[in-house]
């Protein structure tokens, strides 16, 4: 029987290189999903506080759907549904066409819409915490609506929403484990393959748990650094 150190080594007899690749995929997926989720969440928050009833309705429907569905179900719907939908469209032009949707892109979209639905609520709460006088002050000194948003509202919005968004980032980092269900070689999938082949399930799933904890700790240091930087900018203003 192979020793623990052999199993956790680099090379043909070890699994560390496979797990390291899984870490790369996990971090890449989370990093690619974050800006997508933030942009969509911000736009949905704007829609939910709009004076236009149709925009408010659309924003509320969006958040209700993607906050109400389990993340894994959303992932399956987007992965398999997109594949079927694109294939049906392609077959209008070529009856023999076969389409395979990229698992990484499907995971990014699925996690992005879920992240954005929660991020929109964080942004909406931050918008409501900013006094109306801040907008009026911007208009009174001759700023346009866009300039008021960029120079007056947005800096305050970032500071207020940062703690909530930081929590959502940690949730997103953990939710990347769901993509193993559609075949993406993330940390959990690589650990699962190693566990089945070597029959050392506790070892490899334990290593996966430690890696997720390490990523969370590193993220916490990064979040604290960002919060300090934002606080310093607010003081300088």
Q: What is the pLDDT of residues 197-211, one digit of tens each?
A: 888 899 999 999 999
pLDDT for residue 16 is more than 50: yes
Give mean pLDDT, residues 63-91. Answer: 86
Q: What is the pLDDT of residues 122-152, one digit of tens each?
A: 999 988 888 777 666 776 776 666 777 777 7
pLDDT of residue 4: 80
User: Burial, 153: exposed, middle or buried (Cβ in 10 Å; 0-12, 13-18, 19+)?
Assistant: middle
User: Burial, 214: exposed, middle or buried (Cβ in 10 Å; 0-12, 13-18, 19+)?
Assistant: exposed
pLDDT for residue 15 is more than 90: no
Give mean pLDDT, residues 27-34. Answer: 95
In this structure, what DSSP letter does residue 1 have? -
pLDDT of residue 177: 93
Give mean pLDDT, residues 56-72. Answer: 94
Q: What is the 3-state secondary structure (H, E, C) of 42-106?
A: HHHHHHHCCCCHHHHHHHHHHHHHHHHCCHHHHHHHHHHHHHHHHHHHHHCCCCCCCCCCCHHHH
Give mean pLDDT, residues 157-170. Answer: 91
Give mean pLDDT, residues 36-48. Answer: 94
pLDDT for residue 78 is more than 80: yes
Give mean pLDDT, residues 167-183. Answer: 93
pLDDT band per the 50, 70, 90 thresholds, residue 27: very high
pLDDT of residue 168: 95
CB-based contacts of 147, cutoff 8 Å, min separation 6: 138
pLDDT of residue 1: 47
Average pLDDT, the chain: 87
Give mean pLDDT, residues 10-37. Answer: 91
Alpha-carbon distance 80 to 66, whole Å?
17
Give mean pLDDT, residues 76-104. Answer: 78
What are the φ and ψ backbone dihedral angles of 158, each rounded to 5 degrees?
Answer: -65, -45
pLDDT of residue 178: 93
Which has the minimum average pLDDT: 147-151, 188-192, 219-223?
147-151
pLDDT for residue 26 is more than 80: yes
């Amino acid at each position: 029987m192979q020793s623990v150190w052999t199993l956790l080594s680099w090379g043909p007899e070890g699994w560390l290189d496979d797990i390291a690749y899984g870490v790369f995929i996990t971090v890449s997926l989370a990093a690619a999903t974050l800006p997508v989720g933030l942009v969509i969440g911000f736009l949905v928050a704007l829609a939910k506080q709009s004076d236009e009833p149709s925009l408010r309705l659309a924003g509320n429907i969006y958040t209700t759907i993607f906050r109400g569905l389990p993340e894994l179900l959303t992932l399956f719907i987007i992965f398999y549904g997109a594949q079927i939908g694109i294939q049906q469209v392609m077959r209008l032009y070529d009856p023999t066409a076969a389409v395979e949707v990229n698992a990484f892109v499907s995971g990014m979209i699925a996690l992005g819409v879920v992240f954005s639905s929660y991020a929109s609520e964080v942004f909406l709460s931050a918008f409501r915490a900013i006094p109306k006088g801040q907008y009026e002050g911007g208009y009174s000194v001759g700023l346009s609506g866009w300039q008021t948003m960029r120079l007056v509202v947005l800096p305050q919005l970032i500071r207020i929403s940062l703690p909530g968004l930081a929590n959502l980032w940690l949730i997103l980092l953990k939710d990347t484990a769901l993509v193993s269900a559609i075949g993406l070689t993330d940390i959990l999938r690589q650990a699962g393959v190693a566990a089945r082949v070597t029959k050392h399930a506790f070892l490899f799933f334990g290593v996966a748990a430690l890696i997720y904890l390490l990523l969370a700790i590193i993220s916490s240091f990064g979040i604290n650094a960002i919060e300090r930087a934002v606080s310093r900018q607010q003081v300088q203003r």
